[in-house]
Chain A
Amino acid sequence: MAETGTKGQDYESSLSGASQTVAEFEDHRKGAAGKIQHALHVNPSLVPLIVLVFAIVLFGLLLGSKFLSPFALTLILQQVQIVGIVAAAQSLVILTAGIDLSVGAIMVLSSVIMGQFTFRYGIPAPISIACGIAVGAAIGAVNGWLVSKVKLPPFIVTLGMWQIVLAANFLYSANETIRSQDIEAQAPFLQFFGAKFNVGGAVFTVGVVFMLLLVLVLAFALRHTAWGRHVYAVGDDPEAAELSGVNVHKTLMSVYILSGLICAFAGWALIGRIGSVSPTSGQLANIESITAVVIGGISLFGGRGSILGSLFGALIVGVFTLGLRLLGADAQWTFLLIGLLIIGAVATDQWIRKVSA
């Protein structure tokens, strides 16, 4: 051992003269930019929060109390509640490096099932709602199974599912709308999420409270439970996660089922928001939810970002929409600004990711 052992070390003998510090951490990112980059790396929802506060202050200065009133600000919450709930579902899927294009379709189908079961078959509203939620979760389970077991790309799976669910929605509902007055008279529980209550001029609905609670609960679960850490690990590198002992299949299934479930709740909230059950409503929910998630700083490559960011993202869109409308600007300016925000958000994400280089 001694002889070859020395031989083995021969070529490294000069090393003894070298510095012995090996794995030392050096903060090579110096200066303000480096500090900001580090802070953003640790708290990815900081950017959308800053943009949100900036936007509120800007419109507050331009519009004064017309914008900065409890009524106007809570109106924004009401306007973004559907997108906010769907964006929570979308965030979970995108954190696993997937994408769910079927969120809007699941939401609409669930709301149609809740309505039609009640009115066509005379089933009590709570049971119809449970059925709608179950269908949403089941569609999510099919998505999850196709992604996780059949190993199809999430984009393709949910692109297909979007068409299938939307078509099923129109076929099943026969393109019929259930009128708001009928629901109010016969099954008011369907509109439960639309119930309003006042807190000193601020108007909240059950849907708004649900959205805020949902995001808080998910933020807690993602940060403080093993399941949450697994969601991030799977999005980061599924093979590494599997090797270090994460059940990738189970994690993906749970995420897609939860996404379907949340979308079904969004469908219930949608009835509360618009009053009626309409198979043509909520058509833009998938694009709007992806927009909120991206502006919220969640990386489309998975494993990075915070669900609070998505809520901020949805609120930013809401603030711009209402603010520009109150200013009397053409609605197209809103879309133009949102487009800029999307590109800006992804550019920021790339910059933050540079620390890994």
Chain B
Amino acid sequence: MKRYGHVTAIDHSDFELRKGEILAVIGDNGAGKSSIVKAICGAVIPDEGEILIEGKRANFTSPMEARNMGIEIVYQNLAMSPALSIADNMFMGREIRREGWRGDWLRMLDKKKMEQFARDKLTELGLMTVQSINQAVETLSGGQRQGVAVARAAAFATKFIIMDEPTAALGVKESRKVLELIQDVRSRGIPIILISHNMPHVFEVADRIHIHRLGKRLTTIKPGDYSMSDAVAFMTGAKEPPEIEAANA
């Protein structure tokens, strides 16, 4: 579905995401996980190489362009404004205006519509235990905030979602909830790129694991074929990787 190659900053690293899968990206610190994902979403512009989305060339120059194409990113720091409400945060940068003269002339926002949409999306993902959609995000727990960020991505993504360490800051129970959310999103047919350090989480939800080492794709493995210690061994170079399986998507 997507190919990524011949880049000087990231050294000849192919990368592909298939329809409806969760692709985990793992690698040691400094291996280039973030660089490759940033290059995909346009935060970093690759010097060489190309990105194909559904067979079409799509080299973004900013994350906004990627977003307009239906690619959503859940950032590690969540990118939310703590003092604003859940609904405000979900629609930040893509607010819905009221119909009629109040929207056209006063540029008035359709708060009801946005609140309703936000409520629907949170309920769909089984997250509606928050008291009010107008609650400020800072009054939510870490897991709830992550949930809102995932819901925001799921609500607007049409192509795929990139998640950067979605469980890093969470406790055990909250991580579990987020993993369920991730699987929920996949079941809607939206593929996910999951960057994570947490091996148990990666092995639990990923369909394929992309192991990155020294700026290159070392290999991709299926979590069923190898153990976590194998993966760590590949990642750190302690063990020779298997051949890359042929891309057939």
Contact A303 B228 (CB under 8 A): no
Q: Name the interface residues of A220-255: CB closer than 8 Å to any CB of B.
A: 220-221, 224-227, 229-230, 232-233, 236-237, 239-241, 243-246
Contacts of A25 in B (CB 8 A): 129-131, 135, 139-140, 144
Q: Is residue A174 contacting chain B, with contact meaning CB distance below 8 A?
A: no
User: Does the CB pair B92–A5 fall under 8 Å?
Assistant: no
Distance between A100 CB and nearest chain B CB, rounded to angstroms: 21
Also in contact, A4 and B227, with CB within 8 A (given A24-B129, A25-B129):
yes
Residue of B nearest to A355 (CB): B139
Instruction: Indicate if the CB atoms of A243 and B63 lie closer than 8 Å.
Output: yes
Encode contact with A along B75-88: 1 for CB under 8 Å, 0 otherwise: 10111111110001
By a CB distance below 8 angstroms, the chain A residues around B55 are none
| Contact indicator A22/B174 (Cβ below 8 Å) | yes
Complex contact B176–A232 (CB within 8 A): no
For residue A356, CB closer than 8 A to chain B, the reply is yes
Q: Knowing A15-B173, A224-B108, A232-B81 are in contact, say whether A3-B201 is a contact too (CB < 8 A).
A: no
Contacts of A303 in B (CB 8 A): 81, 83-84
B204 within 8 A of A: yes
Are A245 and B89 CB-contacts (below 8 A) given A4-B226, A15-B173, A25-B129? no
B76 to chain A, nearest CB (A): 11
Q: How many residues of B sit at the interface, in one of the four size bands?
A: 35 or more
Determine whether the beta carbon of A226 is less than 8 Å from that of B130. Answer: no
- B91: min CB distance to chain A, Å: 8
Say whether B92 contacts A41, CB under 8 Å: no
Instruction: Decide yes or no whether A35 CB sits under 8 A from chain B.
Output: no
A220 to B102, CA, bound (A): 12
Q: Of A21, A225, A236, A244, which is within 8 A of B129 by CB?
A: A21
Complex-state Cα separation, A303 to B82, whole angstroms: 9
**B64 — which chain A residues lie within 8 A by C-beta?**
245
Residues on A with C-beta less than 8 A from B88 are 229, 233
Band of interface residues on A: 35 or more
The answer, among B79, B107, B139, for a CB contact under 8 Å with A226, is B107
Q: How far is the CA of A71 from the CA of B64 in the complex (A)?
A: 55
CA distance A22 to B204 in the complex (A): 19
Interface contact B224-A1, CB-CB below 8 Å: yes
Contacts of A121 in B (CB 8 A): none
Give A302's nearest chain B residue, CB to CB. B83
Contacts of A1 in B (CB 8 A): 222-224
A1-33 contacts to B (CB < 8 Å): 1-5, 7-9, 11-12, 15, 18, 21-25, 27
Which residues of chain B from 216 to 243 have a CB within 8 Å of any chain A CB? 222-224, 226-228
With known contacts A22-B173, A236-B83, A356-B138, A229–B109 Cβ distance under 8 A: yes
Asked if A273 is at the interface of the complex by the 8 Å CB criterion, the answer is: no
- A31, B67: Cα distance in complex, Å: 44
A residues less than 8 Å from B78 (CB atoms): 240
- How long is the Cα–Cα vector from A23 to B142 in the complex, in angstroms? 9
- Which of B79, B81, B129, B147 has the most C-beta atoms of chain A within 10 angstroms of its own C-beta? B81
B132 to chain A, nearest CB (A): 8
Contact A12 B172 (CB under 8 A): yes
Q: How far does the alpha carbon of A8 sit from the alpha carbon of B209 in the complex, in Å?
A: 14
In the complex, chain B residues whose CB is within 8 Å of the CB of A220: 106
Residues of B within 8 A of A27 (CB): 131
In the complex the two chains form, is A245's CB within 8 Å of B67's CB?
yes
Q: Does B200 contact A (CB under 8 A)?
A: yes
B109 and A15 form a contact (CB under 8 A): no
Q: Which of B10-18, B27-35, B93-101, B187-195 contacts A (4 or more CB under 8 A)?
A: B93-101
C-alpha spacing A206/B140, complex, angstroms: 46
What CA separation (Å) do A303 and B136 show in the bound complex? 12
| B117 interfacial by beta-carbon distance below 8 Å | no
Which residues A109-136 have CB closer than 8 A to chain B?
Answer: none
Q: A11 to B228, alpha carbons, bound, how many Å?
A: 13
Residues of A within 8 A of B147 (CB): 23
Residues of chain B within 8 A (CB-CB) of A230 are 92-93
When distances are taken between beta carbons in the complex, the residues of chain A under 8 Å from B75 are 243
Contact in complex: B143, A22 (CB < 8 Å): yes
Report how far A182 CA is from B242 CA in the complex, Å: 92
State which of A2, A41, A224, A245 has its C-beta within 8 Å of the C-beta of B224: A2
Q: Indicate whether A23 sits within 8 Å of B83 (C-beta atoms), given known contacts A15-B172, A41-B136.
A: no
Q: Which residues of A sit under 8 angstroms from B89, Cβ to Cβ?
A: 244
Known contacts A1-B222, A4-B203; is A226 also within 8 Å of B81 by CB? no
The answer to whether B203 touches A12 (Cβ under 8 A) is no
Do A244 and B227 touch (CB < 8 A)? no
**With the chains together, A241 CA to B199 CA distance in Å?**
31
B127 within 8 A of A: yes
- What are 15 A-B contacts defined by CB distance under 8 Å? A5-B204, A8-B199, A8-B200, A8-B203, A8-B228, A15-B173, A22-B176, A23-B174, A25-B140, A230-B93, A232-B83, A233-B88, A245-B93, A303-B84, A355-B138
A-B pairs, top 6 by smallest CB distance, nearest first, are A245-B93, A243-B79, A1-B224, A356-B138, A8-B204, A226-B95
Q: Which residues of A are in contact with B by a Cβ distance under 8 Å?
A: 1-5, 7-9, 11-12, 15, 18, 21-25, 27, 41, 220-221, 224-227, 229-230, 232-233, 236-237, 239-241, 243-246, 303-304, 355-356
